[in-house]
Chain A
Amino acid sequence: MFSFEFMQNAYIAGTFIAIICGIMGVYVVGRNMSFLSHMLSEIGFSGAAFGIFMGWQALSGMLLFTIVSSILIGKMSVQASKRESAISAVSSLFLGLGILFLSISNKNVSYATNILFGSVIGIGRDEVNQVLLLTIISLVFILFLYRPLKYDSFDHIGASVKGIHTNFVSILFLVVLALSVSTAAQIVGSLLIFVLLTLPAAAAKIVAKTVSGMMLFAISAALIGVWLGLYLGYVTNWPVSFFIALIECVIYFGSMIIKKDN
């Protein structure tokens, strides 16, 4: 299997994506932002379609859309009660825009499928390098922000009293989240980012009791999903995204059942 370059590429990219998603997912869960990360992925779809329409790489369009929108979201401090419907409205608009861009760019349907559901087997060495670069940038930001971000994500009241610039931390976090979403979309597609970003971290929240423990668990769960999913996809010729989704769901529901009593 590893004698094929495309499988090597898929494994390298997948590994880095699993690591960054495991880490970012813990913060997403801590900040109760699962819904928001879902919206970012839909905006990402629209951005990718826009990129194709403009004749750029899909990833460039995705980065543009997700980063700009994450800064806008950070600036609008929408009331919690209105947030969900606002997010739903914005998501629908961006999904619609995505379809529009795809249709006027005269690309065939497989483009849409690739963006929405991923095309990890198809990624080349250049794309692997992009994934590496984006992951490293994200990791550097996270390392730099680790303690204040952890405080703000798991105890917002305490962090704001401490004098941590929670608005600044929050916007920077959203930008890094945009980077991760765009990176992860390369492998699982924008519709299934949830699967790598939220499910492993949600399972970790059930199992682990420390932030570092949650990260370790989430990274492991994401890695198992990606590695095993790629293997099963290779063997069966079924879509890799399907297997990753299946494995992450098994891990998530498994954690729920095991930890049911406490």
Chain B
Amino acid sequence: MTETLVQVQKLAMDFPGQKLFNNLSFDVDRRDFLSIIGENGVGKTTLIRALLNQVKPTSGSIKFRKGTKVGYVPQFRNIERDYPLSIRDFVALNLQNGKMPWLSKMERTQLDEILEETDLVDIQNTRIGRASGGQKQKAYLAQALVDNPDLLILDESTASLDTVRKYELFNLVQHFNQQHDLTVISVTHDFDLMQRYSNRYLMLKEDHYALGEVADIKNEEDLLDV
């Protein structure tokens, strides 16, 4: 039986000179892989910020199932070449339950496991500032997942990657989705990525939206017509 993790009801956001989401309503169930797709400026990132509780909607509501933990991989992160932390230390930043400065044995195990599963063990002591774009995105993913979230939100996480790295990253996300019951919301304007990995889509347009099963969409034109 399906278990609803997020319930968005009649969401609307008013900005000076612009109204976003005309009463947007949708559910996200556990193990869903939902792609949010749409042109620039239709409010994809704003929707994510609302889901992350960083902006308040003008009307409507967003409800999470009690105890839902959220992980987030942002589109952009300010990691420069001289950024000092190793990939391992960077991933460990998200371990926030312990109070002591050092990690507990359990936390170290958690960290080892996620580095293993995201294929970062060999480069865990590399400075993240010196890692390649693909390695960086994997490290961001590992950081978001080290705390075992129920829901992962990806905001255009592949925008800077070539096709091979893009698939590599999303294969990993798919692995967690299928093997660890991770629910995924992925913002993208990459049709191919949506079709390959997600089971549901939310198409945002300026004045309306469409929600459906990815299996019903054969090509990009179908999506533009909905």
**A residues lining the B interface (CB < 8 Å):** 30, 143, 146-148, 150-151, 154-164, 204-206, 208-212, 214, 262
Question: Considering the chains assembled together, what is the distance between the CA atoms of A164 and B74 in angstroms?
Answer: 16
Contact A210 B86 (CB under 8 A): yes
Contact B72 A146 (CB under 8 A): no
10 more CB-based (< 8 A) A-B contacts, given A162-B96, A206-B82: A154-B90, A155-B90, A157-B74, A157-B78, A160-B54, A161-B74, A208-B84, A209-B127, A212-B102, A214-B84
A interface footprint on B87-107 (CB within 8 Å = 1, 0 otherwise): 011100111101111100000
B174 within 8 A of A: no
Q: Which of B169-216 contact A (CB under 8 A)?
A: none
B130 within 8 A of A: yes
Considering only CB atoms, which chain A residue lies closest to B53 in the complex? Answer: A163
Question: Considering the chains assembled together, what is the distance between the CA atoms of A214 and B85 in angstroms?
Answer: 9
Question: Considering the chains assembled together, what is the distance between the CA atoms of A210 and B74 in angstroms?
Answer: 23
Contact B86 A209 (CB under 8 A): yes
Minimum CB–CB distance from A156 to chain B (whole Å) comes to: 8
Contact B52 A161 (CB under 8 A): yes
Question: Considering the chains assembled together, what is the distance between the CA atoms of A187 and B74 in angstroms?
Answer: 44
**B residues lining the A interface (CB < 8 Å):** 52-54, 70, 72, 74, 77-78, 82, 84-86, 88-90, 93-96, 98-102, 125, 127, 130, 143-144
Considering only CB atoms, which chain B residue lies closest to A210 in the complex? Answer: B89
Contact B84 A205 (CB under 8 A): yes
A158 cross-chain contacts in B, Cβ below 8 A: 72, 93-94, 143-144
Contact B127 A148 (CB under 8 A): no
Contact A147 B99 (CB under 8 A): yes
Minimum CB–CB distance from A251 to chain B (whole Å) comes to: 16
Contact A147 B101 (CB under 8 A): yes
Contact A209 B54 (CB under 8 A): no
Question: Considering the chains assembled together, what is the distance between the CA atoms of A208 and B125 in angstroms?
Answer: 11
Question: Considering the chains assembled together, what is the distance between the CA atoms of A212 and B125 in angstroms?
Answer: 14
B98 cross-chain contacts in A, Cβ below 8 A: 147
Considering only CB atoms, which chain A residue lies closest to B89 in the complex? Answer: A210
Considering only CB atoms, which chain B residue lies closest to A142 in the complex? Answer: B101
Q: Which of A154, A156, A157, A162 contacts B85 (CB 8 A)?
A: A154
Considering only CB atoms, which chain B residue lies closest to A147 in the complex? Answer: B96
A148 cross-chain contacts in B, Cβ below 8 A: 96
A209 cross-chain contacts in B, Cβ below 8 A: 84-86, 89, 125, 127
Contact A157 B77 (CB under 8 A): yes
Contact B93 A155 (CB under 8 A): yes
Contact B127 A146 (CB under 8 A): no
Question: Considering the chains assembled together, what is the distance between the CA atoms of A164 and B72 in angstroms?
Answer: 14
Minimum CB–CB distance from A144 to chain B (whole Å) comes to: 8
Considering only CB atoms, which chain B residue lies closest to A209 in the complex? Answer: B86
Minimum CB–CB distance from B224 to chain A (whole Å) comes to: 32
Minimum CB–CB distance from A137 to chain B (whole Å) comes to: 17
Minimum CB–CB distance from B26 to chain A (whole Å) comes to: 21
Considering only CB atoms, which chain B residue lies closest to A214 in the complex? Answer: B84
Considering only CB atoms, which chain A residue lies closest to B98 in the complex? Answer: A147
- Name 11 A/B residue pairs within 8 A (Cβ), A-sorted: A30-B84, A146-B100, A147-B98, A147-B101, A155-B77, A157-B74, A158-B72, A209-B84, A209-B85, A209-B125, A262-B130
B84 cross-chain contacts in A, Cβ below 8 A: 30, 204-206, 208-209, 214
Question: Considering the chains assembled together, what is the distance between the CA atoms of A143 and B96 in angstroms?
Answer: 14
Q: Which of B78, B89, B99 contacts A211 (CB 8 A)?
A: B89
Considering only CB atoms, which chain B residue lies closest to A213 in the complex? Answer: B89
B101 cross-chain contacts in A, Cβ below 8 A: 143, 146-147, 212
Question: Considering the chains assembled together, what is the distance between the CA atoms of A25 and B72 in angstroms?
Answer: 29
Question: Considering the chains assembled together, what is the distance between the CA atoms of A150 and B95 in angstroms?
Answer: 11
Select the residue from A159, A208, A209 with max chain B CB neighbours within 10 A: A209
Minimum CB–CB distance from A163 to chain B (whole Å) comes to: 8
A160 cross-chain contacts in B, Cβ below 8 A: 54
Contact A205 B82 (CB under 8 A): yes
B72 cross-chain contacts in A, Cβ below 8 A: 158, 161
Are A151 and B96 also in contact (CB < 8 A) when A157-B74, A158-B143, A205-B84 are?
A: yes
Considering only CB atoms, which chain B residue lies closest to A153 in the complex? Answer: B93
Considering only CB atoms, which chain B residue lies closest to A161 in the complex? Answer: B72
Considering only CB atoms, which chain B residue lies closest to A163 in the complex? Answer: B53
B77 cross-chain contacts in A, Cβ below 8 A: 155, 157
Minimum CB–CB distance from B189 to chain A (whole Å) comes to: 21
Minimum CB–CB distance from A86 to chain B (whole Å) comes to: 21
Minimum CB–CB distance from B140 to chain A (whole Å) comes to: 8
